[in-house]
Amino acid sequence: MRSIAVIGAGYWGPNLVRNFRASKDWDLVAVCDLDADRARRVIGDRSTVEVETSVSALLSRRDLDAVAIATPARTHAALALAALEAGKHVVCEKPLADSAEAAATMVAAAEEAGRVLMIDHTYCYTSAVGYIREVIASGELGEILYVDSTRINLGLVQPDVDVFWDLAPHDLSILDFILPGGLVPESVSAHGADPLGAGKSCVGYLTMPLSSGGIAHVNVNWLSPTKIRQMVIGGSRRTLVWDDLNPQQRVSIHDRGVDLTTQALDAQVQREAVTVSYRMGDVVVPALTEREALAGMAGEFAAAIDEGRAPRTDGTAGLRVLSVLEAANASLGRGGSPVPLRPVALPVAAGVLA
């Protein structure tokens, strides 16, 4: 069993504390926060978990193998770099950093230190998203023609980020996890609206042509009176629908679609007509085991360290998501014009981790 500390006892920190305390793979030894009372409340009474208010003191502990960072994104890079320099493995809540440049620095530092850097893309550790990844990899859906993702609700207007940076990282991290080769779109187009006059986009639409020839579309919205968490993945053979708010039918696979065939009308002038036929087959609803995603994330973090490999959602996954968000920012500044995705140089894999 390895030892871990959680840095940050605010919004997400308590969830990490609860799951690392319950994990058979981890011994939670400390919670670090500038507010000692808040850290104590998160830990609770009758606990051997220690409270720490100094990051430097925490990282100097010899009995500490890893840290989980749950602080504002602007602090992630500095904290992660300090932890890696101290020889600790690191898992960060999303987003990995506040810029792709900072994230690339973190990835490079982890490679150089021979330590695991993981991003807590929580949805990637749900049973539903794991099943979707397997179905796409198996070829059951065929070639991916389109992805239409909707994440809307009457939500809190964030003070420091727009709706793209608040909600879209969930959808982008899922796409990065389920699409073969990860999320590497050719370009990104973003359109946003600020009907409240909040000074930032409260409604947003992302469009991304994929290298496979398909297209992905993400709709995010803070102003919707109804809450929708749905992704439709259309393939050349079948279509998959994921409805995260429907526990009885989170995933369904539809053998329904449109088939196009061409028919020669005049061989001499090579005229062709397109025949459209509609396929109306079965709908399959797989039985999925419900489990807490963060528990799976904690287990994967430990397994990656023990096996000397990259985790399923490693630092480069977080970097790819940030690259798309930065391209979306650039597109917004250009009135929605497509912005080619800027390639980010990644360090060479370091091999077996210590």
Q: What is the pLDDT of residues 34-93, one digit of tens each?
A: 999 999 999 998 789 999 999 999 999 999 999 999 999 999 999 999 999 999 999 999
Does the pLDDT at position 277 exceed 80?
no
- In 3D, which of 315, 303, 306, 307 has the Cα closest to residue 121? 315
Rounded-to-integer distance, Cα 72 and Cα 15, Å: 15
Provide CB contacts within 8 A for 269, sequence distance 6+. Answer: none
- In 3D, which of 63, 59, 55, 4 has the Cα closest to residue 28? 4
Tokens of 28: 């939670």
- The pLDDT score that the predictor gives to residue 212 is 80
Mean pLDDT score of the chain, rounded to an integer?
A: 91
Looking only at the bridges linking them, the beta strands covering 26-32 and 187-193 are unpaired
Rounded-to-integer distance, Cα 125 and Cα 110, Å: 22
Q: What is the pLDDT of residues 92-104, one digit of tens each?
A: 999 999 999 999 9
Looking only at the bridges linking them, the beta strands covering 2-7 and 271-284 are unpaired
Q: What is the pLDDT of residues 101-133, one digit of tens each?
A: 999 999 999 999 999 999 999 999 999 999 999
Evaluate the omega torsion of the peptide bond into residue 209 and state whether it is cis, within 30 degrees of 0.
no
Q: Which domains does the chain have, with CATH numbers?
A: 2-122+293-311 (3.40.50.720), 124-284 (3.30.360.10)
Rounded-to-integer distance, Cα 148 and Cα 141, Å: 15
Does the pLDDT at position 278 exceed 70?
no
Model confidence, pTM: 0.88
Q: What percent of the chain has pLDDT over 70?
A: 90
Does the pLDDT at position 354 exceed 50?
no
Tokens of 250: 């989170």
